[in-house]
Amino acid sequence: MTQVTFKNSPVTLLGEQVKEGTVAPDFSVLANDLSVRTLADFEGKKKLISVVPSVDTGVCSQQTRRFNEQASDVENAVVITISCDLPFAQAKWCAANGLENVVTLSDHKDLSFGTSYGVVMEELRLLARSVFVLDDSNKVVYTEIVSEGTDHPDYDKAVEALKSI
């Protein structure tokens, strides 16, 4: 299991972490309009899933913007940002930042994504900063769980993994 800190304090990750080469587990999250979204909603697309503790903080905001800028032109791909923020807060953040085509999904209801992917920080009830790249058949081709929750992920490696599919 990956050791993670948040603001230099150790946190416990709940759930089983997904591994490269396996089929990604399904999940159930909420879209900004409160509709339920699952992995099947993105069937047939390559996926870069960017996971952040809260989209309305500096590093998380930068991560969401950067992945969308760097990967938006990858053919047949979608960039998804998942956090435990309320769907209303995610929609407000997107509007305030002029991002109309960003897919933000909320795991606040039952932590389905976080538990399925092993990234729930138990002590904070937030998701650990992480990145998962899935091919169009939902095979996991890249994972990164950032060891310090306030640090940035390796953007270049994640985007390269998406482009190489």
Q: List active site positions.
A: 60
Residue closest to 19 by CA, chosen among 128, 118, 103, 120: 118
Q: How far is CA 34 from the centre of its chain?
A: 18
Q: Read off φ and ψ for residue 48, nearest 5 degrees.
A: -110, 110
Residue closest to 81 by CA, chosen among 42, 111, 48, 128: 48
First-to-final CA distance of the chain? 26
For CA atoms 4, 123, 96, 73, the dihedral sign is positive
CA distances from 164 to 46, 62, 68 (A): 10, 23, 17
Residue closest to 17 by CA, chosen among 121, 149, 155, 125: 121
CA atoms within 13 A on the CB side of 67: 34
